[in-house]
Amino acid sequence: MRHTWAPPAALVGMAWVLAAGAGVWVALSEDPRGQVLIAVAAAALVLLALSGTLARPRLAADADGVTVRGLTRTRHWSWAQASVRLATHRRLGREQPVVEIDVHDRDDLVVLGWLDLGEDPRDVIESIAALRT
């Protein structure tokens, strides 16, 4: 059995709409400084939307191990190579649960939050634990 998690499609679609709106705003604006600022925001939105579109699913887990997909590459680690755990990080004054994937043979650490997964990281960890047993 394979479990997959990806950013919510509605949020990815919203990023594309906002990027298009920012592009139109840049084209219609007559303020050169404002155009630069909005163009930077539009570029950031395009990168976020592109990542949400191309890196699907962001995390996959099966009997062989875990796979993390990014914008430019996909990485797979067996269960012997990686440990997956729930951690909390303080962001904006709040404790946020995240899924951490620590790769033993390298100094790689992948941190995925609910925006990456489209689900509460606690539920993701429960699904992965059920899969491994």
Per-domain residue ranges for the chain?
7-54, 59-132
Comparing CA positions, the residue from 1, 3, 12 lying closest to residue 116 is 12
Give 88: exposed, middle or buried? Use CB within 10 Å, 0-12, 13-18, 19+.
exposed
Q: How many CB atoms are located within 10 Å of the residue 83 CB? A: 13
pLDDT of residue 37: 95
pLDDT < 70 stretches in the chain? 133
pTM beyond 0.85, yes or no = no
pLDDT at 121: 96
DSSP code at position 30? -
35 C-beta neighbours (distance < 10 Å), count:
15
Q: What is the pLDDT of residue 131?
A: 85
The pLDDT assigned to 128 comes to 93
Residue 12 in contact with residue 47, Cβ under 8 Å? no
